[in-house]
């Protein structure tokens, strides 16, 4: 059931509990910013978290920004509960390393 795509209402509800995350097409996306010197340490924590969850995000690190894109490949690259769970844990990990979410673009995503 965790790999079944979420309907529109479930995605909308999940986003209310994911600060800085938005929907871009059939994926959850977020960008966090913090101290560039801590980005490598942050990525090591993210990789360990993803491995323990057996679920992986697309991660882009550019200077002091870390971007995430989440969807579940086994569900046709759609958003599932696995994605919302990992998004919560990624947000907590970023916060623990001093990275804060960049607000989603206006008019953007739902």
- For 37-90, write each residue's pLDDT tens digit: 999 999 999 999 999 999 999 999 999 999 999 999 988 899 999 999 999 999
Give the largest Cα separation in the chain, rounded: 39
Instruction: Report how far residue 58's alpha carbon sits from residue 50's, in angstroms, rounded to the nearest whole number.
Output: 11
Domain-embedded: residue 3: no
Domain-embedded: residue 80: yes
What pLDDT score was predicted for residue 105?
A: 58
CATH number at residue 96: 3.30.1360.20
Confidence grade of residue 110 (pLDDT, cut at 50, 70, 90): very low
Q: Number of structural domains, the chain? A: 1
Which regions of 1-110 does DSSP assign to beta strands (E)?
A: 22-24, 27-33, 58-62, 65-70, 100-101
Domain-embedded: residue 45: yes
User: Of 52, 44, 36, nearest to 86 (Cα)?
Assistant: 52
The whole domain housing 72 covers: 8-101
Domain-embedded: residue 109: no
Domain-embedded: residue 25: yes
Instruction: Report how far residue 5's alpha carbon sits from residue 67's, in angstroms, rounded to the nearest whole number.
Output: 22
Q: For residue 18, give the DSSP letter.
A: S
Domain-embedded: residue 31: yes
Domain-embedded: residue 106: no
């Amino acid at each position: 059931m965790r790999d079944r795509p979420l309907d529109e209402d479930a995605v909308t509800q999940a986003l209310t509990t994911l600060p800085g995350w938005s929907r871009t097409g059939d994926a959850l996306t977020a960008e966090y910013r913090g101290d560039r010197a801590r980005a490598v340490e942050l990525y090591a924590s993210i990789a360990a978290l993803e491995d323990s969850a057996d679920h992986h995000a697309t991660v882009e690190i550019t200077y002091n920004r870390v971007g995430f894109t989440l969807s579940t490949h086994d569900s046709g690259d759609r958003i599932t509960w696995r994605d919302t769970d990992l998004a919560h844990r990624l947000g907590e990990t970023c916060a623990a390393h001093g990275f804060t979410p960049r607000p989603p673009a206006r008019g953007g995503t739902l």
